[in-house]
Amino acid sequence: MRVPNIWLRDNCQCATCVHTETKQRLLDTFKIPQDISIKSHEIQEDGINVGWSDGHNSKYTMGFLRHACTDFGMKNIVRRGLSKLEIWDSSIASDPPKVSYDWFSRGDFVKMILNRIRQYGFCYIDDVPFNEPEPTEKLLERISFIRPTHYGGFYDFTADLASADTAYTNIALEAHTDTTYFSDPAGLQAFHLLSHTEGEGGASLLVDGFKVAKDLYESDMEAYEVLSTVDVHCHASGNDGISIQPYKGFPVLQHDLTSGNLLQVRWNSSDRASVDLPMDRVDEWYNAARKWDALVKKKGNEYWEQLTPGRLLIFDNWRVMHGRSAFTGKRRICGAYINRDDWISKYKMLHHGREKVLSHLL
Ligand SMILES: [Fe+2]
Ligand SMILES: [Zn+2]
């Protein structure tokens, strides 16, 4: 493996080059002479000492060099917080991923929840107190801080159209992802039905967006390509004085261009604005989206569950679509959004530990 001198000098790990507490780079990279070279080196049992032409001395441990040079696959997994995915369909109803609230005080409570969400895209927490919303809020705050939006932060509402969005009504909602009108859509979304009185209905629908993407990929590559490349604009304009729009359009299927992995599903026909194709070609997107929509609505892909007070649902809004059937009566629901980077970073720290996360930075 060839390691360019500039990289090795720039990544010296000594206390002069990296702050021991903050882990931030102290070294001015661009003061390193462009022709920096190694004057001397000494191989030791646990690493290599290097004397540089700029007078600096560095020590590189074998572990550091191994991580930096040869461990690309593992680095990828740790850095991106990847996990083995369980792709599911309607049959998940017989054994959905869940954790008991009884384990709240255990040190690995949040780890158990996030591991399941990473794997399945969602997790239930059963037996959460439902007389008031605070226990749900406390639980979510253990994952990370709650993301405020123009609707507020942690919410607790009864269906009354107070916030000018169909989510606050009692009509049926097709499977969708939330906040496509942000360039960084909400990472996690949580719902807890605290009470449902004087009526019925309102079953919850979950659809694994990665399963639907797999179905489309296997049945129509061309449509998959269109949904992966054509940008779609969105907006949230129901509140007085507000029209939120992302700074650019984004495709329905977003990929990590380095690894090729599917990263995010953005699907919300209610909040869709223009499709970034010339008008005379816009039907190409509609044709592809029609195929996608049919797979989203395929019975075998729909997982329906009647949520009851005490069962908190947390799901990955970048993967799992949600909806609900119409209902009558009054429903009190609380919940919140958590940012993607915050929950994935937390997942990585709990799953791999700080040392491993930091050793896979370079
Ligand atoms: Fe929603
Ligand atoms: Zn140094």
How many angstroms separate the CA atoms of 31 and 270, rounded?
Answer: 53
Q: How far is CA 243 from the centre of its chain?
A: 24
DSSP string, 288-343: HHHHHHHHHT-GGGEEEE---TT-EEEEETTTEEEEE--B-SEEEEEEEEE-HHHH
Say whether 350 sits in a helix, a strand or coil: helix
Task: Check residue 125 and report its DSSP letter.
Answer: E
Q: Is 9 exposed, middle or buried (0-12, 13-18, 19+ CB in 10 A)?
A: buried
**Cα of 348 to ligand 2 centre, how many Å?**
28
**Cα of 224 to ligand 2 centre, how many Å?**
48
Structure tokens that stand for 58 in this block: 């560095």
**Cα of 268 to ligand 1 centre, how many Å?**
9
Q: How far is CA 194 from the centre of its chain?
A: 26
How many angstroms separate the CA atoms of 238 and 164, rounded?
Answer: 5
**With contact defined as beta carbons under 8 Å apart, do 302 and 240 qualify?**
no
**Cα of 299 to ligand 1 centre, how many Å?**
20
Q: Which ligand is nearest to the CA of 29?
A: 2
**Cα of 65 to ligand 2 centre, how many Å?**
15
Q: Is 231 exposed, middle or buried (0-12, 13-18, 19+ CB in 10 A)?
A: middle
Task: Check residue 145 and report its DSSP letter.
Answer: P
Task: Check residue 59 and report its DSSP letter.
Answer: E
If we measure between CA atoms, which residue out of 256, 254, 253, 325 comes closest to residue 295? 253
**With contact defined as beta carbons under 8 Å apart, do 181 and 267 qualify?**
no
Per-residue pLDDT reduced to its tens digit, 290-321: 999 999 999 999 999 999 999 999 999 999 99
Q: Which ligand is nearest to the CA of 16?
A: 2
**Cα of 168 to ligand 1 centre, how many Å?**
10
**Cα of 173 to ligand 1 centre, how many Å?**
8
Q: Which ligand is nearest to the CA of 60?
A: 2
Residue 176 identity: H
Residue 115 sits at φ, ψ, to 5 deg, of -60, -45
Structure tokens that stand for 92 in this block: 């998940």
pLDDT at 68: 83
- Please, what are the domains in the chain? 5-70 (3.30.2020.30), 90-352 (3.60.130.10)
Low-confidence stretches of the chain (pLDDT beneath 50): 161
pLDDT at 167: 65
DSSP string, 154-179: SEEEESS-TTSSGGGSSS-EEEE-S-
Residue 67 identity: H
Q: What secondary structure, in 3-state letters, does 200-244 show? A: CECCEEEEEHHHHHHHHHHHCHHHHHHHHHCCEEECECCCCCCCE
Q: Is 313 exposed, middle or buried (0-12, 13-18, 19+ CB in 10 A)?
A: buried
**With contact defined as beta carbons under 8 Å apart, do 9 and 36 qualify?**
yes
List the alpha helices (DSSP H) in 11-108: 62-70, 72-80
Q: Residues 158, 162, 164, 170: is their CA dihedral positive or negative? A: positive
